[in-house]
Amino acid sequence: MKPVLLTAIYLAFLLPLSAQAAEKTAPTVEELWEIIQKQQAEIEALKNQQQQTAKQAADADEKAEAAVVAVEDSASGIGSASNWADKTTIGGYGELHYNNINNDGIDDKNEIDFQRFVLFFGHEFTDRLRFFSELELEHAVSGDDENGEVELEQAYIEYDIRDNLQTKGGLFLMPVGILNETHEPNTFYGVERNDVESIIVPTTWWEAGAALNGYYDNGISWDLALTSGLAIPTTGNNAFVIRSGRQKVSEAIANDFAYTGRLKYTGIQGLELAGTLNYQSDASQESGDGLGRGLLFETHAIYQKGPFQLRALYAGWDFDGSAVAAADADRQHGWYIEPSIRPWQMLGFYARYEDVYGARTRDQFKQWEIGANYWPHEDVVLKVDYRDRNVDHVDVAAESVDFTAFDLGIGYQF
């Protein structure tokens, strides 16, 4: 067939069919409106979904920021607490004693006593400024009609003026003797502290005031202190007893201050030499009562060579006044010497000889003592000793008689 004829036949058959299909698929106006409304609804739904998603994201961001702040605050708090704890120290010591004293039935004693329970608290404010304190309970129980006492033995602020110069103010131990500043039970021999330092110095002795301390690379150091003073009684059973003059900074009479100076040398390994002067123009704090000026001189030496150690100390008070002279107590002196050997780290042996003289009648005696210390740990000690005392004047009424004693003790520090 010719092309023209084929085209005509094609058009004759297809055109009517195309018209019918167009008539069937073309949307009406109503259908177009429904389509438009449906599309708008879908668009609004998408917008709402986007808004909700954006809001959820914003809320999540806020919560994340809040969590970060909370964590930072918590970390800051933990850091602050950790910093405080790092600069605060806690320590202490304690000792339990058993004493079996035999003086021919006049005043025999079998006694066990938790003699001291002590806590240390310190805090470093800066590298140059710090605080230190010591709180003590004696004889386990304190209160009315009880044997014990609660005592604040140290509470002072210390400041480094420069590398080799310090000052402190508050309540502190006096710079005198061997035991007065270092008396933890694992640091000395014997269940009881030596009598010379207890009666004459008198250990433990603390006052309130201000002090200055300097030290040098050659081993020389010095201390100067202006403090409250003793108030030694002049009447009663404790008349002219130096130890009874400690006011312990408890509403202490401050009519007369005390002046203290110490010079110490530790420039040779194992050697310590020291001397202290303490002066008070009125040792009773009450003028006209027969006790005036008091002057203490103390000197000691410690020498350590391998397992061997030697300690020696002299201390003496000179007092002015008619009443103290009449009581023959104007010169109260004493000394001791103590050699020891520690052949093993855990075990040591010692002997001590003491002589207290010029004090009141009941406090004049000579005493031998031997014993041993066992350290299961450097900060824990078990002690045993035997004492033999010979008094210069027997005075039963004053309980000043010869005796022998067997003592056991346990002590610690941390």
Which carries the bigger pLDDT value, residue 222 or residue 81?
Answer: 222
Mean pLDDT of 290-297: 97
Domains contained in the chain, number:
2
At 167-188, the pLDDT tens digits run: 999 999 999 999 999 999 999 9
Residue 291: pLDDT band with limits 50, 70, 90: very high
pLDDT score for 75:
54
- Residue 283's Cα: distance from chain center in Å? 31
Same domain (yes/no): 73, 124: no
Q: Is the pLDDT of residue 8 over 50?
A: no
Instruction: Give the range among 304-313, 323-332, 343-352 with minimum mean pLDDT.
Output: 323-332
pLDDT score for 380:
98
Residue 169 in domain: yes
State which of 86, 109, 134 marks the end of a domain.
86
Model-level pTM?
Answer: 0.79
- Residue 324's Cα: distance from chain center in Å? 39
- Residue 106's Cα: distance from chain center in Å? 42
Same domain (yes/no): 96, 61: no
Residue 205 in domain: yes
CA count, 13 A, side-chain hemisphere, 123: 5
Same domain (yes/no): 111, 44: no
Closest CA to 133 of 118, 116, 112, 145: 118
Structural domain boundaries, residue 261: 91-413
CA–CA gap between residue 102 and residue 388 (Å, rounded): 10
Q: Is the pLDDT of residue 9 over 50?
A: no
pLDDT score for 21:
44
In the numeric block, the tokens 């093993």 are attached to 344
Residue 60: pLDDT band with limits 50, 70, 90: low
Same domain (yes/no): 143, 188: yes
Residue 17: pLDDT band with limits 50, 70, 90: very low
pLDDT score for 27:
65
pLDDT score for 150:
97
Same domain (yes/no): 181, 215: yes
Same domain (yes/no): 26, 124: no
Residue 3 in domain: no
Percent share of the chain, pLDDT over 70: 81
Q: Is the pLDDT of residue 237 over 70?
A: yes
Q: Is the pLDDT of residue 342 over 50?
A: yes
Give me the torsion for CA of 250, 253, 257, 259, rounded to 10°.
Answer: -40
Same domain (yes/no): 59, 120: no
Same domain (yes/no): 72, 51: yes
Same domain (yes/no): 158, 72: no
3-state SS, one letter per residue, for 269-290:
CCEEEEEEEEEECCCCCCCCCC
Same domain (yes/no): 161, 42: no
Mean pLDDT of 384-410: 84
Residue 19: pLDDT band with limits 50, 70, 90: very low
Same domain (yes/no): 266, 357: yes
- Tell me the CATH number at 240: 2.40.160.10
At 124-177, the pLDDT tens digits run: 999 999 999 999 999 999 988 899 999 999 999 999 999 999 999 999 999 999
Q: Is the pLDDT of residue 339 over 50?
A: yes
State which of 65, 86, 107 marks the end of a domain.
86
Percent share of the chain, pLDDT over 90: 71
Closest CA to 382 of 229, 185, 208: 185
Residue 1 in domain: no
Same domain (yes/no): 407, 281: yes
State which of 62, 86, 110 marks the end of a domain.
86
* DSSP element (H, E) containing 337: strand 331-344
At 70-88, the pLDDT tens digits run: 555 555 556 666 787 889 9
Mean pLDDT of 284-302: 95
Residue 2 in domain: no
